[in-house]
Homo-oligomer: A and B are copies of this chain.
Amino acid sequence: MSEFSGTIPPRRPLTLRDVSEAANVSEMTVSRVLRNRGDVSEGTRNRVLKVARELGYVPNKIAGALASSRVNLIAVIIPSMSNMVFPEVMTGISDVLDHTELQPVVGVTNYKPEREEAVLYQMLSWRPSGVIIAGLEHTEASKAMLAASGIPIVEIMDTDGDPIDSAVGISHRKAGKRIAQEIITAGYKRIGFLGSKMPLDHRARKRFEGFTEALAKAGLEIADSEFYSGGSALQKGREMTEAILNRNAHNPLDFLYYSNDMIGAGGLLYCQEKGIKVPHELGLAGFNGIEFLDGLSQRLATMDACRNEIGRKAAELILERIDENKPSESKTITLDPTLQIGDTLKRKKLGQT
């Protein structure tokens, strides 16, 4: 210990008072300058600004928020970050919020309802101005918290169900149906399904349900399926494709529907290497429209889930509900995902004529 220890005052964060003393004005005036509110003479204003900058003052939002009971935070609760889909939703949200005073704060649930409940509780305890949360399925407690919060809630991604307040998304059930119809129309008959073992990914489940339903209407059913969990999705796509094709070698499949584009891309790469003729011998389709599909030599058939758009619209809904004082109603916005046929779902009707 140096003999001078103790002479250096412990660094205490600066307060409004420090600035007000240095600038020789009341705290109130400093506050007004820093928030650009009320009348302050040009001279005082400049003096305060100068002093604040020199001192390196950073306002304490905690105190500000408590005093004004205004917290310019939007809680965003999503299942996963590494998923490629949510970063895009986040971009949409940020694009809109960047023009405002609001800023998004993200919580991740890893697809676990109890984790979602905990994260939600944490976020609500900061008294945000609004909540954007993925999905329509939540624990009873979560729903109660959301409903009781008294702030705008927007549930995103999915519109197959009843929102607590507002919702923006696509119908995954319809998306599944749509792609199934396309596959049927193209003349494929022996269809395999490859997806992830995620009982709690309700959106994947709904797509699957819509898919099988549409097949059933055409008198078809899924010939075989394969599920994975964890690991490199591209690699898993490869492995699962190999497995399901081999297993059905005696009576070959002619189409594979993947629950996401990453495993679909793995399957496509596998087929290309093995010389399997896509789409004539075997058709493929995924879901999500992830950007990197552009880099493959054949474009995988997929459906764009409107992720950026969902983010934007969700943020806009929140803004509407906050800004305006009119009793803005809750609404559900259902977007229409675009089907991209690509190069892997093109076979002409065979044996139908």
Contact = CB atoms under 8 A, between A and B. Distances in A.
A312 interface: no
Contacts of A90: 81
A342 interface: no
A59 B125 contact: yes
Contacts of A13: 127, 149-150
* A interface SS class: helix
Interface residues of A, number: 56
Within the oligomer, what is the number of copies of this chain?
A: 2
Contacts of A122: 103
Contacts of A125: 58-61
A227 interface: no
A122 to B, nearest CB: 7
A324 interface: no
Interface stretch (A155-163, A166-174, A289-297, A314-322): A289-297
Interface of A: 11-13, 56, 58-63, 65-66, 71, 81-82, 84, 87-88, 90-91, 94, 103, 105-106, 108, 121-122, 124-127, 144-145, 148-150, 231-238, 262, 265-266, 269, 273, 291-297
21 contacts: A11-B148, A13-B127, A13-B149, A13-B150, A58-B124, A58-B145, A60-B125, A61-B126, A61-B127, A62-B65, A62-B66, A62-B71, A81-B81, A81-B87, A87-B87, A106-B106, A232-B292, A232-B295, A234-B294, A238-B295, A262-B292
